[in-house]
Amino acid sequence: MSVPQASSRGARSPGRRRSPGRRIAVPLAGFPGSVPQACQSIQDEIDGVLADLNDLQLELKHAAPEDKPAIRKKIGEDNKQLVTLRNQLAECIGSQPTVPPPTEAYFIGSSKLTTNDDNEKARGPFFDDLAFRLNIGGDPARITIETFPALGAVFDTPFGANTGRTTVTLIGGGTGSYDAGKISLPITLHFATTIETGLGGDITDSSDLSIVLSTDPPEGSPVTPPPGPFGNVTLFGSGQFIGGFFGKKPDTGTMTVTGTIKPWVPVAVPYVITLFWNEAQDEVVSAGLVPEFFVDRAGGGGPNITSKSWVNQQSPVFGDMVELGTVVGMSVTDTEQT
């Protein structure tokens, strides 16, 4: 395997793509029913391997230099066992009845935001990739947004091209109804805007937009194939801005969300600290995650990744449950391990 060339950001595995929106590790705690009873024995095995890895981590930290290779070998074996067990768990969960719908789901797609600003400022449409966690189930069936990323828009102003920037965050709502593929989901979005004047001070402004994202035609379409909860879907919502620049007239804002609701397949992040960079890369890729390396120069090491570079920090941390394709950032150094 070739060694990466000099770079302060290290190397990324070729041919892999970042998973949109999937940058934060979210543990499974708090999601009842995420593992069916028929699959619990596999989950128990996974928990046992994770506990063993945690013990090995502590053991490696205090081990004599001559004992570390054997411990690293055991860590590698445990990581491979985790891959096998996770695959078995995914197959087991997939074989279980889908009624009532599984608790955890994942939306991946895109969003489109528009305004009807009479002055033609920041009218849009503004497009963004969109991925977020969902919780679907209950009686009556409910749908709840568990995580939601910040969205962004850039627009022209009288001060120049691309001098206006708006960050959109979810600040309210997020729980609605789910009925045989039909969704009604009220949300409140906060629009924080900055306009770069170039005159020594920027203009800041904020507005809120409360809408109900719905699958009702003609703008929306229910989950396909019905009754879901997994499949293609389009949600649409419209409302009036309150406060700030957009609320003065007031303007109408619309949001269209188009994409696919998929089963949430959690992946445990492997323990890669103290592994050489190429070993760590193999472990991360085997887990279905994306490796990304950064050179740690603070400890006196060289500026490049070398064959002797080893991982001294990782994020997300060992044991966190993340979506397939999540980036695992690893800091590496070529200084001697102590």
Torsion of CA 292, 296, 302, 303, to 10 degrees: 60
More confident residue, 123 or 34: 123
Chain segment 42-100, per-residue pLDDT in tens: 999 999 999 999 899 889 888 899 999 999 999 999 999 999 998 998 888 888 775 55
Residues in the chain: 338
Q: What is the pLDDT of residue 27?
A: 29
Per-residue pLDDT for 120 more than 70? no
Q: What is the pLDDT of residue 74?
A: 92
pLDDT confidence tier of residue 338, bands split at 50, 70 and 90: low
Distance CA 320, CA 124 (A): 38
Per-residue pLDDT for 282 more than 80? yes
Q: Mean pLDDT of all residues in the chain?
A: 82
Sign of CA dihedral 214, 217, 219, 225: positive
Chain segment 136-164, per-residue pLDDT in tens: 887 678 999 988 888 888 878 788 887 88
C-beta of residue 89 within 8 angstroms of C-beta of residue 39: yes
Return the residue matching tokens 């990739």. 129
Distance CA 74, CA 70 (A): 6
C-beta of residue 164 within 8 angstroms of C-beta of residue 192: no
pTM above 0.95, yes or no: no
CB atoms < 10 A from the CB of 297, how many? Answer: 11
